[in-house]
Structure 1
Amino acid sequence: MEQAGNDEVIVVGGGVVGLTTAVVLAEAGRRVRVWTREPAGRTTSAVAGALWWPYRIAPRALARTWALTSLAVYEELAERPEETGVRLVDGVLGGTSLDELGDWAARVPGLRAATADEYPGTALRARLPLIDMPVHLRLLQDRLLRAGGAIEERTVTDLAGVRAPVVVNCTGLGARSLVPDASVRPVRGQLVLVENPGVRDWIVATDPVAGTTAYVFPQPGRLVLGGTTDEDDWSLAPDPDAAAAIVGRCAALRPELAGARVLGHRVGLRPVRDRVRLERTERPDGSVLVHNYGHGGGGVTVAWGCAREAARLADPTAAR
């Protein structure tokens, strides 16, 4: 592969983690190029439901720190929702209590126990960032370009062939073959987009018996209904039976959704790992490789925190 300039950083991967990392690096004055196999609009990030919440992501303590860093950024971006795609929206998280959370929860705006009128069971009420990912990904691309960065569509088949003083690996599920790291695996998520009959708040509910999750996220011009967690399933084709089940579970939460006109279907493969890999390694030629992958369905939640840590690790003066 092409040799990069002596002071360049190449970020491999153009999803939300890769773009956010590239933005942090470029806005800090680094010369950054993003190498991505496909445009951001066709990545897994583009189809994410994108509610901020540190859920099923490890290591837990670090993930919460990364999440709170991201929360502060999203709160600022929410002041310009049309431009950034970020809004602060009220909603209910079913099946979770305050006792299950740590001290970090005090930082979450409006977080409290939900009332019986709000949810029939244990639940939390909060005002959280809800992100319109197509808009947000365009924002990240624009910020990167304004900071002097570049985005190139190219397929990387071997990380060793990416030659630069610093390479940041944000390839998500691609890390399974590129590192290679067999511990990265897909967890398939299917969504249904429907017309919004007037739903303004989000809701997430888990059935502990059936092991299913239902969520309703109001996005501009549509409702996003989910979802599925199909482990080790590589299929990107929407399953009609799964779609019908999603709509049924969501209509049980919000009866006004019964019969809502379907606008489309989306499928994404979450890059799940037992814990996020965020670390620096030295390559035989003296260059630096920073890994930043394995975020599962929490990439949006921790993106800015992980990006800042990755940028620190990418600093040539960082401790070895």
Structure 2
Amino acid sequence: MRADVIVVGGGVIGLTTAIVLAERGARVRVWSRDTAGETTSAVAGALWWPYRIEPEELVGDWSIASLRVYEKLADQPEQTGVRLVAGVQANERPADLGPWSAQVEGVRDAYPHELPPGHDGGLWARIPLIDMPVHLGWLRRRLEAAGCVVETRTVTDFAEAAAEAPVVVNCTGIDARHLVPDDRVRPVRGQLVLVENPGIEEWFTSVDHGSSRTTYFFPQPGRLILGGTADEDDWNLVPDPATAEAIVARCARIRPEIAKARILGHRVGLRPSRAQGVRIEAEPLPGGGLLVHNYGHGGAGVTVAWGCAETAARLALRAAS
């Protein structure tokens, strides 16, 4: 298949970007080293919220654009994996948020009875919580329905894709560090524990911005996701038993019933953080063609996916037309 655009990367950023391009008439191929279920996106707890991502002046618009998409997808949660779920973020108040928060319906200060012991402030919100294995499968089906070909292929140089399409979109996440190359891309390791849900229906987060430890739990169908960590420059993909034990203990201090929940599994993912934030821009390739970058989304790839896809697609379509 001759393509107008080849998208390199099959995580949530690559798939959403390819969908926007294909549904606007471009002939699109996706090259991905991993299947969707093997990407970093599949590991994400996937609560919509601008977390560990810059530049601040752009993140708000990208996040709200994505929120509007997820709100519509939440009408069919079984198919899309998207649900609107209520929860509390401790130690953060609506007044502390950026201008984007005014466009999130229902965000308010948490009432005292909604906060766990030891927390004297927080916010309440009902926002998208996304079951990533289901959602990635839905994205893949939507992409294929738009006529896109998804191929398992490892890319070592963008020139390989440029030889088969005039426009290449780089959605390679952490791999952009060596493919671009861009040494500003750094891993932020996140470890999760999956347990049987003892009846928890609301999410909870508490982030200490001065520490690599976070505390959160997200009720997903068939499981409760516990977290987490934010270890910078750590490439280790093997779950650490001591870290897992500490995660369960922190979550159990908020909801004691978690302590006895049966463990279903462990997950580790590398958030593709980037100094100076997300990079969405176009540059010519040495051998001809155009390379559009869309990477560096840190811990908020799901949160900004559709907004970033729109921005990157505009650059790609302008060149492909």
Q: TM-score, normalised by structure 2?
A: 0.95
Query: For 1:158 and 1:254, how far apart are their aligned partners in 2?
Result: 48
- After superposition, the Cα gap between the structure-2 partners of 1:16 and 1:282, relative to the gap in structure 1 and judged at 3 Å, is same
Q: Is the 8 A contact 1:194 1:222 kept in 2?
A: yes
Q: Which residue of 2 aligns with 1:239?
A: 240
Structure 1 runs (4+) greater than 4 angstroms displaced: 207-211
- Aligned pairs (5 A) from 1:216-235: 216-235=217-236
Summarize deviations over 1:109-159 as a string: whole Å, max 9, x none: 210001111113221100010000000000110011000001000100111
One-letter amino acid matched to 1:154:
R
Pair 1:144-2:143 in alignment: yes
One-letter amino acid matched to 1:169:
N
Q: Is the 8 A contact 1:167 1:290 kept in 2?
A: yes
Query: For 1:241 and 1:11, how far apart are their aligned partners in 2?
Result: 39
Summarize deviations over 1:28-75 as a string: whole Å, max 9, x none: 111000000010100000010000001221111211100000000000
Residue 284 of structure 1 deviates from its aligned partner by 3.6
* Partner secondary structure for residue 318 of structure 2: coil
Q: Which residue of 1 aligns with 2:250?
A: 249
Pair 1:69-2:65 in alignment: yes
- After superposition, the Cα gap between the structure-2 partners of 1:23 and 1:89, relative to the gap in structure 1 and judged at 3 Å, is same
Residue 309 of structure 1 deviates from its aligned partner by 0.6
Q: Which residue of 2 aligns with 1:111?
A: 107
* Partner secondary structure for residue 260 of structure 2: coil
Comparing 236-245 with 52-61, which one deviates more in the overlay? 52-61
Query: For 1:310 and 1:208, how far apart are their aligned partners in 2?
Result: 30
One-letter amino acid matched to 1:109:
E
Q: Which residue of 1 aligns with 2:302?
A: 300
Q: Which residue of 2 aligns with 1:94?
A: 90
Q: Is the 8 A contact 1:193 1:265 kept in 2?
A: yes
* Partner secondary structure for residue 264 of structure 2: strand
- After superposition, the Cα gap between the structure-2 partners of 1:208 and 1:141, relative to the gap in structure 1 and judged at 3 Å, is closer
Pair 1:195-2:191 in alignment: no
Pair 1:132-2:128 in alignment: no
Query: For 1:109 and 1:219, how far apart are their aligned partners in 2?
Result: 22
Q: Is the 8 A contact 2:5 2:320 kept in 1?
A: no
Query: For 2:294 and 2:209, how far apart are their aligned partners in 1?
Result: 32
1:59 to 34, 37, 55: 55
Summarize deviations over 1:80-129 as a string: whole Å, max 9, x none: 00000000000001111122113221111210001111113221100010
One-letter amino acid matched to 2:200:
V
Q: Percent identity?
A: 63
- After superposition, the Cα gap between the structure-2 partners of 1:208 and 1:54, relative to the gap in structure 1 and judged at 3 Å, is closer
1:279 to 263, 278, 281: 281
RMSD: 1.5
Comparing 201-210 with 93-102, which one deviates more in the overlay? 201-210
One-letter amino acid matched to 2:294:
N
- After superposition, the Cα gap between the structure-2 partners of 1:87 and 1:284, relative to the gap in structure 1 and judged at 3 Å, is same
One-letter amino acid matched to 1:142:
R
The number of equivalent residue pairs is 315
Q: Is the 8 A contact 2:21 2:317 kept in 1?
A: no
**Unmatched tracts of structure 2, length 5 or more:** none
Q: Is the 8 A contact 1:312 1:318 kept in 2?
A: no
